[in-house]
Structures are given as C-alpha cells and as structure tokens.
Structure 1
Amino acid sequence: MQTPIANVPHFIATGFHALSDPIRINVLELLRQRELCVCDLCEALGVSQSKLSFHLKTLKEAGLVNSRQQGRWIYYRLNLPQFGVLAEYLADYRNLGQTLPARPCDNIS
C-alpha cells in the first residue's frame, strides 16, 4: 500500500532538497574522499565562504554532513547513515509493481 505523501518523513524531503543544487553535489563529491575544512572547500569550488556557508548549512540540516571544530577551523565530513536512509527510501520504488491505471472520475459535470 502506498504511503500518503503527508506521512513521508520531513528528513527525506529535506535530504532530497539538499541534493538538488550543483554546488551541494560538488561539496559531497569532494567529501567522498576525506574530511575537509571550509577553506579547502572554498578553494576547490571557487566560491566565497559566505556562499559556501549557506550550502553547508543546508547539507547539515538535511543530515548529509557532520562538522567538527578544531581551533578556528570547521571540518566537514559525510554522514553516511543518512545517505543509507535516502537510498532505502528510493529502493522501495524498485519493489513496486506496475502502476495501475487511474480509476474513472465519478464527478461528471
């Protein structure tokens, strides 16, 4: 049985929203290799720290990255369990059978 859209957890929608921007995708690609500080991410992406901070905040709110502070630097890394949650959500669609045709509408004007 299909889950009503209102029951889809907020963190699923937030996660996919976070994945909808090319800069955020590039951040995630860089973090696939290793933990990086903001300065390294800015340099690699060619964006200002203020612009990157907005994108990192979105990724953090979605639970896709974690951060830690060391001295005056903040380091970011992937939060792999959250990627697993999103992957499981999408995997459920593979298990769907053929989509049934629409029922005729009863409201004929």
Structure 2
Amino acid sequence: MRTEMTEAELLEVFKALANPVRLQLLRWLREPARHFAEINEVGVCVSHIQAKAGLAQSTVSAYLTTLERAGLVRSTRVGKWTHYRRDEGRIAQLVEELGHSL
C-alpha cells in the first residue's frame, strides 16, 4: 500500500534540494565509495564530508541536518562522530510520489 507524502513533506524536500551544495552532498552520498576514502557500514563521517566540501563544519552539519529533516539522509552517532548515509527507501518513496502527483 502506497503512503502519500503530505504537501508539507514534499515542500521540505524541495527546499532541501534547492540549495546546490545540499544537492551535491546528496549526490556524493549516493556513491560514497567513489567520493570518500573512508566509509563504514553506518555511512560517511561528517568530518570527511566537510573536508571534501571545503566548508566550515558547522555549515556542512547544518546542510546535513536540513537533508535529514527532509528525510533524505539518516545520521548515526558513533562516539563523538556523526555519520551520514542516504535514506534510499525514503528517496524511492519520493520518486514514486512525484510520478503520481506531478
């Protein structure tokens, strides 16, 4: 059974993807082994994402938080580090929703 995303959820996703850096982060996380030297089963450490992006850690963290709020990535805390990976199930749901509603 397909669960429709609310208009507010769709708008949150569109707002998150409207920023070119956030869109790039999501693209890098699509193929983490290609873009990052160090990955593990829970994702890519924010410090590695920050280094690749060349932005302040606080900026990258804020961007990733926006992507997480939109349901596009998930975070996992390992000690003092936060790792991120895409939420492929949610992204697939978004693609399906767009196919039905637009």
**Aligned-residue RMSD, C-alpha:** 1.7
Of the three residues 11, 32, 35, the one matched with 1:13 is 11
**Structure holding more helix per residue:** 2
What residue in structure 2 maps to residue 102 of structure 1?
A: none
Q: 1:63 aligns with which of 58, 71, 79?
A: 71
- Counterpart residue identity of residue 42, structure 1: Q
Greater Rg by CA: 1
Q: Separation in 2 of the partners of 1:57 and 1:67?
A: 9
**Per-residue CA shift, 1:27-84, capped at 9, x if unaligned?**
1111112321110001111110111111111101001000001111100000011111
Cα distance in 1 for residues equivalent to 2:74 and 2:100: 26
Q: TM-score, normalised by structure 2?
A: 0.78
Specify every segment of 5 or more residues in structure 1 that has no aligned partner in the other structure, as ranges.
1-6, 95-109
Question: In the alignment, does 2:45 pair up with 1:37?
Answer: yes
State the shift of 1:93 in Å: 5.2
**Runs of 4 or more consecutive aligned structure 1 residues displaced over 6 Å after TM superposition:** none
> 1:76-95 alignment to 2 at 5 Å?
76-92=84-100
Could you tell me which amino acid in structure 1 is paired with residue 61 of structure 2? S
TM-score by length of 1: 0.73
Percentage of identical aligned residues? 33
**Structure 2 residues not aligned, in runs of 5+:** 33-42
